[in-house]
Structure 1
Amino acid sequence: MSTRTILKGGVVVSTDGQARSDVLIEDDTIIALGTDLDGDGHVVDVTGCQILPGLVDSHTHLEMPTMGTVTADDFASGTIAAAVGGTTTVIDFAMQTDGSLLTGLETWKANARDKAHIDYGFHMAVTDASESAIKEMADMVDEGVTSFKVFMAFKGSFMADDQQLLRVLRRTGETGGLVQVHAENGDAIDLNISDALSRGQTAPGMHATTRPESTEQEATGRAIHLATWAKRPVFVVHVSAASAVREIQEARMNGLPVFGETCVHYLTLTEDELHRPGFDGAKYVCSPPLRHEHDQDVLWSALRQQDLQIVTTDHCPFNFCGQKELGRDDFSKIPNGLPTIEHRLPLLHEHGVRTGRMTMSELVNLTSTAPAKMFGLDRKGRIAPGYDADLVVFDPSATLEISAANHHMAVDYTPFESWTCHGAPTMVYSRGDLVYGDGEVRSTPGRGRFVRRSTGPFPAGDITRI
């Protein structure tokens, strides 16, 4: 017997605007929209609230081994926190393992299978573009993993050279799919770090000093040139610097298929946090580093102009005690990353919508519709018949105070401690199931499904123009 639910009295928000509409769900699918929908089913009164398509977080790192430790959130705690914050699908980064992309994918699938509360997919990080790994990229696409990440930083661990990046780009011309780049000049950063440590400069603030804006700008421009030579699109992850934005804008003005994201922390936090007294700045170490207010202004503008298409979290959580402290005497050993998966929606509403920097429709596009389209989630990102019933009931009058004392992430701090947001999710549905409501998590570990993704807008062949 099918299960029917009607959300009544709400305002549906899409990329095109807002309209009063009921939403009819049958089992896991949206069946109809309309005013005053009737019929059998459980009726939920959402008067006074907005109904958003479930958010897609296309940049997370759950259970990721790095820098001598493992990120604090596994696929259980991380996806619970995501759901509470209105995210109903995550695309995590699986890492090439023992030289193999297939081994990496199976490892990450096993990590998620019995834990995830919401749906999940994977990007594949290629850290050694060997002949065998390049061949396996076709297997990844067949498995529904259609995007590949290459690190231009982290020399000695994840970093690939230009030839390897070019090989990966060319291979997507044969298989389809999209290449993502972490754009920082790893050689320059490595030298800067060595110089700083030789001078006895070990404090957390040196993380930003050794990774100046120019290292991001140069790598962004270089990645664009390599992608142009390969006649393939490229997607720049976690853009933080104004000069890197300008590289992307210039390429797009020339009609090149260059895309990018920024993250909620780059829009709301600055480098000043790294210079907090004592070791407290370690809580804010991430790569690229936090920048300045000027950079934030440029990022907000680039989102409005659609030169950056997505806002993600780059959720990469480490406990302050026992993990961030690994770098107490050497800033280069502080694990890089911030815990952000739970609060993207309320923070963007508070600092974007309420300040006039974006509309609710733009928020929906940047956090749901655009990432679903970009990464081939063909049943996600819209409230329309035939789409998955991934829905967020958002109350713009609710008040949320962010605190490590009440968040759902398995980490002992938040970079937004005591920040107040006006507007928060009150109910979250994943494929028709209420996974969060009335302040309580309603789902169970393992209910989330692996989602096979299409190549979306990026099939095989030469792609030289947007």
Structure 2
Amino acid sequence: MSLLIKGGKVVNADKSFIADVYCEDGVIKKIGTDLDVPSDVEVVDAQGKLVMPGGIDPHTHMQLPFMGTVASEDFYTGTAAGLAGGTTMIIDFVIPNPQQPLMEAFEQWSSWAARSVSDYSFHVAVTWWDESVYADMGKLVSEHGVNSFKHFMAYKNAIMAEDETLINSFTRCIELGAMPTVHAENGELVYHLQQKLLREGITGPEAHPQSRPPEVEGEAANRAIRIAQSLGAPLYIVHVSSEEAVDEISRAKREGLRVHGEVLAGHLELDDSVYHNKDWASAAAHVMSPPFRPKHHQRALWKGLQGGVLETTATDHCCFCAEQKAAGKDDFTKIPNGTAGVEDRLMILWDSGVNKGRLTENEFVAAVSSNTAKIFNIYPRKGCIAEGSDADIVVWDANKEHTISAKTHHQNVDFNIFEGRTVKGSVDTTISQGKVVFANGELNVVEGAGRYVKRPAFPTVYEAIEKYNELNGPVSVDR
């Protein structure tokens, strides 16, 4: 199976150039002009268009059991919608229940994900701690290619990880060469504010952002950073939504700490006015955590992305339809948290980023693909148009206009947070594993075609010291 993408402008994170791209057996084999290729090769005409690495969404929740229901998007529909929007790989989250073995949860998610039509990988959440969790983390890294573990600092009485769990898990991550990640919100304070608002009779969606003010995110981000600093661990903070959290990450980077920040397309574009819509269903449809913030936070997030404080973009794609959201009609704390976006992210980032001069085309590629591949150790297999890289490619039409709507999107949810927005810049063709899977507005996908992508562990501190000893003489370390 061979494919030639002809006449386009290749756009990587580091440079852009005119070239043809020849793919064979799911891998990029040749890049250049006047390539010697088979006569029967399938040709994709990219003249006047951009040829970019497929998007990687590092934060999705397909088929997630959560808050008494299950997300409406499964791995088949969700990865298909991603391909329609130029995302060729997702990193989803395995989230064990408290006391559930990590390996049991991993096997459950793996069975669900077998329906994926694009490549996928997993972060695994640590929601509790004992020696079995310690052992399972080792097995996940060594045998299953998991190199990141998630910790929820929110959702008290459910999946919230106490500081002791963070300390134990971060320490284990260091031993294994894995990346700790956190959802940074002070769960105790959120719970306190939720109960206070309910006692005051404030029960609608407007109470959601009031119960999760920016300060609870800033405090948790700082606490996670300082725990990681004390232990010598790197840290990845998901869905940064506030100026306070941006400031904490910026401060940490200035101190030389290895802290990475992720921002959602929704947080970059929407503000907290959505929770005051007189239509309850519309307001509830926007309930997610952290919530959408006042406008000045959006300015801080864009500056953070432009300045490298925030390095990756994601969606936190977690869909619940209107009927599911209605579970919280009389109590905002029971509204299932989550919104969609896996299909829309690249279009929103291009339109608000590149078209408005906030990002160059190369910075766009870094933000939607390459930086994620680098941080989670799958670069240059993913996130790059290069010989030997996977043939996960997006042919992008910078002049193509598209109006986003729940009536036409491929996401399995009845609401779109970007409803009615017309963007300039959209997918012409999506290629996954060297095959055209989206073209002319039509999907052509095969259930189960997606591959599980193992992500190698990072060198551990012990390996680094051993290497140093080889070159410079012995340095001891207490194992």
Provide the TM-score with structure 2 as the length reference. Answer: 0.94
**Residue type of the alignment partner of 1:361:** N
Q: Which residue of 2 aligns with 1:34?
A: 32
SS at match of 1:262: strand
> Residues 56, 459 of structure 1: CA spacing in aligned structure 2 closer, same or farther, 3 A cutoff?
farther
Q: Which residue of 2 aligns with 1:318?
A: 320
Q: Which residue of 2 aligns with 1:55?
A: 55
Query: After superposition, what is the alpha-carbon deviation per residue over 1:257-285, rounded to whole angstroms, capped at 9, x for unaligned?
Result: 11110100000000011111131211111
* 8, 17, 20: which one aligns with 2:18: 20
Query: After superposition, what is the alpha-carbon deviation per residue over 1:136-182, rounded to whole angstroms, capped at 9, x for unaligned?
Result: 11011011011000000000001011010010000011111100000
Query: What are the residue-to-residue correspondences of 1:167-316 with 2, within 5 Å?
Result: 167-279=168-280, 280-316=282-318
| Conservation of the 8 A alpha-carbon contact between 2:394 and 2:430 | yes
Partners of 1:291 and 1:383 lie apart in 2 by: 36
Structure 1 residue 461: Cα displacement: 4.5
SS at match of 1:452: coil
Q: CA RMSD in A?
A: 1.4
Identical aligned residues as a percent:
41
Structure 1 residue 434: Cα displacement: 1.1
SS at match of 2:310: coil
Partners of 1:208 and 1:251 lie apart in 2 by: 26
Long gaps (5+) in structure 2:
466-479
Structure 1 residue 38: Cα displacement: 3.8
- Runs of 4+ aligned structure 1 residues displaced above 4 Å come to 460-464
Partners of 1:461 and 1:271 lie apart in 2 by: 46
SS at match of 1:21: strand
Q: Which residue of 1 aligns with 2:73?
A: 73
The answer to which of 174-183 and 36-45 deviates more is: 36-45
Structure 1 residue 61: Cα displacement: 0.1
Q: Which residue of 2 aligns with 1:10?
A: 8
Query: What are the residue-to-residue correspondences of 1:329-340 with 2, within 5 Å?
Result: 329-340=330-341
Partners of 1:211 and 1:357 lie apart in 2 by: 29
Query: After superposition, what is the alpha-carbon deviation per residue over 1:57-91, rounded to whole angstroms, capped at 9, x for unaligned?
Result: 11000011000001110001000000001011111
Structure 1 residue 460: Cα displacement: 4.8
Query: What are the residue-to-residue correspondences of 1:430-445 with 2, within 5 Å?
Result: 430-445=432-447
| Conservation of the 8 A alpha-carbon contact between 1:240 and 1:288 | yes
Partners of 1:423 and 1:348 lie apart in 2 by: 10
**Residue type of the alignment partner of 1:150:** H
Partners of 2:371 and 2:394 lie apart in 1 by: 17
> Residues 344, 43 of structure 1: CA spacing in aligned structure 2 closer, same or farther, 3 A cutoff?
same
Q: How many aligned residue pairs are there?
A: 459
Q: Which residue of 2 aligns with 1:455?
A: 457
Structure 1 residue 463: Cα displacement: 9.3
Q: Which residue of 1 aligns with 2:427?
A: 425
Structure 1 residue 241: Cα displacement: 0.3
| Conservation of the 8 A alpha-carbon contact between 1:8 and 1:21 | yes
Structure 1 residue 48: Cα displacement: 1.1
> Residues 460, 317 of structure 1: CA spacing in aligned structure 2 closer, same or farther, 3 A cutoff?
farther
Structure 1 residue 441: Cα displacement: 0.7
Partners of 2:3 and 2:279 lie apart in 1 by: 53
In the alignment, is residue 414 of structure 1 matched against residue 416 of structure 2? yes
SS at match of 2:175: helix
SS at match of 1:168: helix
Partners of 2:215 and 2:130 lie apart in 1 by: 30
Q: Which residue of 1 aligns with 2:475?
A: none
| Conservation of the 8 A alpha-carbon contact between 1:78 and 1:409 | yes
Partners of 2:211 and 2:248 lie apart in 1 by: 21
| Conservation of the 8 A alpha-carbon contact between 1:8 and 1:36 | no
| Conservation of the 8 A alpha-carbon contact between 1:99 and 1:133 | no
Q: Which residue of 1 aligns with 2:394?
A: 392
SS at match of 1:195: helix
Structure 1 residue 44: Cα displacement: 2.0
Structure 1 residue 310: Cα displacement: 0.2
SS at match of 1:285: coil
Query: What are the residue-to-residue correspondences of 1:50-129 with 2, within 5 Å?
Result: 50-97=50-97, 99-113=100-114, 115-129=115-129
SS at match of 1:218: helix
| Conservation of the 8 A alpha-carbon contact between 1:401 and 1:421 | yes
Partners of 1:200 and 1:194 lie apart in 2 by: 10
| Conservation of the 8 A alpha-carbon contact between 1:86 and 1:428 | yes
Structure 1 residue 43: Cα displacement: 2.2
Partners of 2:175 and 2:361 lie apart in 1 by: 38
| Conservation of the 8 A alpha-carbon contact between 2:55 and 2:86 | yes
Partners of 2:183 and 2:130 lie apart in 1 by: 19
The answer to which of 168-177 and 373-382 deviates more is: 373-382
SS at match of 1:423: strand
Q: Which residue of 1 aligns with 2:161?
A: 160
Partners of 2:400 and 2:417 lie apart in 1 by: 21
SS at match of 2:88: strand
> Residues 259, 462 of structure 1: CA spacing in aligned structure 2 closer, same or farther, 3 A cutoff?
farther
> Residues 463, 62 of structure 1: CA spacing in aligned structure 2 closer, same or farther, 3 A cutoff?
farther
SS at match of 2:112: helix
Q: Which residue of 2 aligns with 1:344?
A: 345
> Residues 93, 108 of structure 1: CA spacing in aligned structure 2 closer, same or farther, 3 A cutoff?
same
| Conservation of the 8 A alpha-carbon contact between 1:328 and 1:334 | yes
| Conservation of the 8 A alpha-carbon contact between 2:205 and 2:332 | yes
Provide the TM-score with structure 1 as the length reference. Answer: 0.96
The answer to which of 8-17 and 116-125 deviates more is: 8-17
> Residues 351, 463 of structure 1: CA spacing in aligned structure 2 closer, same or farther, 3 A cutoff?
farther
Partners of 1:374 and 1:461 lie apart in 2 by: 20
The answer to which of 38-47 and 395-404 deviates more is: 38-47
Partners of 1:297 and 1:214 lie apart in 2 by: 17
Partners of 1:43 and 1:177 lie apart in 2 by: 41
**Residue type of the alignment partner of 1:83:** L
